[in-house]
Amino acid sequence: MEQSVKKIVIIGPESTGKSTLCEELAQHYQTEWCPEFAREYLLTNGTNYDMDDLELIAKGQLALEDEYASLVCKNQSDNPSPLLFVDTDMYVMKVWCEYVFGKCHQFILDEIITRKYDLYLLCNIDLPWTKDELREYPDEGPRKELFHIYQDILINQSVPWALISGEDEARFASAKAAIDRFIFSK
């Protein structure tokens, strides 16, 4: 039954409004959004992580996504195309592993192949970076570099994607237009 859930993944560098956008879109479309597992993991276990932690985070993210997909199916059993907004997927985990450690777990690479999504929304770096206890890259150089890594990934895969730019209402409107175009026009 989970296969009927349309999954929309919001990705991009840190501090680009992914979680906020997920929450706003879920409210608008009256559905759920799957938060980023890494945030809770790092708040609980500290920010001195290693490669093994990233594999645990990846597994935790997938379990959380499956939990929310089941919840959407249960709560929207009368909806033929329920939506789930996902804050982070295995592409994010791949970029994180490779950017920090220069290599990626095979588990993550295998999940990239097997997991299926319906749309990606790539958040642009046009929002100001906001400091919090978990963010690592305040400088413009790494933000641009990470953005281009995500953009290259999306260009070279087959799932539709859209670049999401603008602040506040404009960012939300851009995301909503992409969802309506790619998900509801079919």
Segment 72-101, tens digit of pLDDT:
988 887 777 799 999 999 999 999 999 999
Q: Which domains does the chain have, with CATH numbers?
A: 2-182 (3.40.50.300)
Q: Which residues of 38-57 are buried (b: 16+ CB within 10 A; e: fewer)?
A: bbebbeeeeeebeeebbbeb
Segment 104-162, tens digit of pLDDT:
999 999 999 999 999 999 999 987 666 555 555 556 788 899 999 999 999 999 999 99
Entry pTM: 0.91
Phi (first) and psi of residue 60, to 5 degrees = -65, -40
The pLDDT of residue 2 = 40
The pLDDT of residue 134 = 53
Confidence of residue 1 (pLDDT cuts 50, 70, 90): very low
CA distance 147 to 123: 8
